[in-house]
Structure 1
Amino acid sequence: MLGGGRTTACVTGGNGYIASALVKMLLENGYAVKTTVRNPDDVEKNSHLKELQALGSLEVLRADLDEEGSFDDAVAGCRYAFLIAAPVNLHAKDPEKELIEPAVRGTLNVMRSCVKAKTVTRVILTSSAAAVSSRPLQDGDHVLDEESWSDVEWLKSKKLGPWAYPVSKVLLEKEASKFAAEHGISLVTVCPVVTVGAAPARKIHTSVPASLSLLSGDEAAFGVLKGIEMATGGVPMVHVADLCRAEMFVAEAAAAAGRYICCSVNTTVSEIARVLGDKYPQYDVKTNMLSGELLQKPRVCLSSAKLIGEGFVYKYKTLDEIYGDVVEYGKALAILPN
């Protein structure tokens, strides 16, 4: 093992938002980390990884989800493999070929490397709540748990919004599960909801601009937030630090198995607007964007009861706490004015 006897973990897609936060947390907890990026020479995308090397043993390797075997070196000698890299091509002209197939193929590529490594005792797959909640909404309030799956046939027939993203997540989860069973791999899947909060990555990702859209006035980003509420019956949220702690929790807990929804707050666009208006009076909350159909309370709640029941405790349990550091992060990313 790398790092003088320390546990080594691989995190795929280290220049992504969630992966960068997980790399940082693993290093802070004494892990040696190997992370993958498509192009290690891209200084702009990878500068934060150079800074994270000051925290401990961090190796940055080149790997591509589309290349069979390119993850062999990255997972060699690792006890845990955190699969976070995934295609997020929401505007693909041919979603089957550009998003769904590459997502499944890429996941299985990394898992094949894990089998070859013979050191990986657990694979932690990061899926998405999109694989849980994209389905026809019935009347009344609903609580969705890990038994709930997004309806692939319905999504493919309706083709509403970025329909291929939830389809890709359902299919990659199911294929990964099948592969793990066939090869005797311990696989645990985490399904995060809308993830917010500061992370080392400098590249802007969908959830952060969307979560700040009521302060920034960015109508396209607000459309994403509103779209989530319309499609899923609420806005489920989690702080990125809690998500990373949950990833480590299910990696280290021997009894962890199956899927875990990671969600600390089920809220609505209207409630987010109220909280932000109170918390950040210096920003003029763009209430003019709040016209049209908006929920006063969530019609659908995503339940984290399984994760909590196994001993996990969220640190950021209210909208006020979740939005604690994301405004400063938004300024650093130039989403918000300083």
Structure 2
Amino acid sequence: MKTVGIIGGSGFIGSHTTKKFLEEGYSVKVSVTDIKKSEKYKHLFNLENSDNLNISALKVEDLETLKDFISDCEIVIHGGTPFQLDVKDPQKELFDPTIKGTENFLTAVSETPSIEKVVIIASVAAYNTNFPMPAGGKTPHDTFSENDKPFMSEESHPYAQAKFLANQAVEKFISKHPNLSFEITSVSPVGVMGKSLSTREDSTSTGLQFLFKNKIAPNPFVQMLYDTNAEMAIVDVEDVAEAIFKAATISGLHGKNYLLSSESYPVSDLSLMLNHESPKNNPSIIYKNGMAQKELGMKFGPVQETLNNYSK
């Protein structure tokens, strides 16, 4: 039985990833930032094969604890960067844990002989920090793929900037270490939605679905999405977990970064579908998913099904 370490394995994406690896017969180690807050991870013990699950406290800024966490892993998934839109101190809340945490992580895995595969859960922001608005020079209906030049703006949300810079740190590490004994593969999901495995109320991803369903705007960023009726690309959280598993278990993907995306709809249509009503527009494919389909064997489910699952 191989061991996989999942940093951030109790979050929205992380929980589905943990579920997938447990179902596939792996021994799974999940890190949490505060072991005392059991409400954030207790749902994982309801999963199939949870006898093979171990929960550990970890902060990615702590290099020695990080090394200890991954010391017996063959596969490591790094999804432990914060996703939050309301930020008071971007440096402390986003840039340090995201960028320094990623740099620490890369140092730790490079010093761990057992590791065969590393998967980084990046973000569409690694390609376009303006998401869901178009990248500079593009219109809302222009397509975007892995072949497009990544776009970053200092006017973008700090979360997006932090994810972009963290991805650059990964690319720099790969180029500086051409003879690694393991593979590093990244996945960059667009707006991740669907059914949460936990009942936590502090998840940004499930929170966005709640906001769109009820047309609530708690901050200027969300209000901007309503005002522009932004064309938003969505991917199902279960499809993201499937792609992470495939990226971790298919060899020959070193240095790749896969966009994970299904269909795009205006925000007004997302609100309708979250209320089990039909969208007024036909879906489009703005963020291309061909590379993930071809090399990971992915099939992405329709957005209407994803949003219906959220409010079942």
State the SS of the aligned residue for 1:310: helix
- Alpha-carbon contact 2:29-2:53 (below 8 Å) kept: yes
Cα distance change on mapping 1:87 and 1:207 into 2, 3 Å: closer
Q: Which residue of 2 aligns with 1:109?
A: 104
Report if the CA contact (8 A) 1:209-1:221 is conserved.
no
TM-score w.r.t. length of structure 2? 0.85
- Residue ranges of structure 1 left out of the alignment (5+ in a row): 1-5, 286-294, 329-338
* Structure 1 pair 20–241 and aligned structure 2 pair: CA distance change class (3 A): same
Aligned counterpart for 1:268 among listed residues 266, 269, 272: 266
Q: CA deviation at 1:313?
A: 2.8
For residues 59-107 of structure 1, give each alpha carbon's deviation from its aligned partner in whole angstroms, at most 9, with x where no partner exists: 1111102212221222122111110000335333442454223311101
For residue 196 of structure 2, the aligned residue among 192, 196, 199 is 199
1:260 alignment partner, SS class: strand
Contact 1:9–1:82 (CA under 8 A) maintained in structure 2 = yes
Structure 2 residue matching 1:210: 3-state secondary structure = helix
Query: Residue 310 of structure 1 aligns to which amino acid in structure 2?
Result: E
Q: Find the counterpart in structure 1 of residue 5 from structure 2.
A: 10
CA distance in 1 between partners of 2:223 and 2:149 (Å): 21
Q: Which residue of 2 aligns with 1:323?
A: 307
Query: For residues 121 and 225 of structure 1, what CA distance do their matches in structure 2 show?
Result: 44
Which residue of the partner structure matches residue 46 of structure 2? 51
- 1:334 alignment partner in structure 2: none
> In structure 2, do the counterparts of structure 1 residues 211 and 89 end up closer, same or farther at CA, with 3 Å as the change threshold?
closer
Preserved contact between residue 194 and residue 236 of structure 1 (Cα < 8 Å):
yes
Give 3-state SS (helix, strand or coil) of 1:117's partner: coil
Change in Cα spacing, 1:68 to 1:229, as seen in structure 2 (3 Å) is farther
1:140 Cα deviation from its structure 2 partner: 7.0
| 1:256 maps onto 2:253 in alignment | yes
Q: Separation in 2 of the partners of 1:229 and 1:10?
A: 41
1:188 aligns with one of 185, 197, 201: 185
Q: 1:236 to 1:89 in 2, by over 3 A?
A: closer
SS of aligned partner of 2:253: coil
1:136 matched residue in structure 2: 136
Q: Report what 2:165 is aligned to.
A: 171
* Letter of the structure 1 residue corresponding to residue 306 of structure 2: I
Work out the CA distance in 1 between the residues paired with 2:227 and 2:97: 27
1:75 aligns with 2:70: yes
Bigger Rg, structure 1 or 2? 1
Indicate conservation of the 8 Å contact 1:189/1:259, yes or no: yes
Say if 2:50 is the partner of 1:32. Answer: no
Structure 2, unaligned stretches of length 5 or more? none
Alpha carbon RMSD of aligned pairs, Å? Answer: 2.9
The DSSP-based 3-state class of the residue aligned with 1:49 is helix
1:225–1:234 CA distance, 2 compared to 1 (3 A):
farther
- Mapped to 2, the partners of 1:299 and 1:244 lie a distance apart of 23
Deviation track 1:29-57 (CA, whole Å, cap 9, x = no partner) reads: 11110110111121222211333375341
- Distance of aligned partners of 1:236 and 1:139 in 2 relative to their CA distance in 1, 3 Å threshold: closer
What secondary structure sits across from 1:195 in the alignment? strand
Partner of 1:310: 295
> Which shifted more, 45-54 or 244-253?
45-54
- TM-score by length of structure 1 reads 0.79
Report the AA paired with residue 127 of structure 2.
V
Q: Assess if the C-alpha contact under 8 Å between 1:14 and 1:37 holds in 2.
A: yes
The percentage of aligned residue pairs carrying the same residue is 22
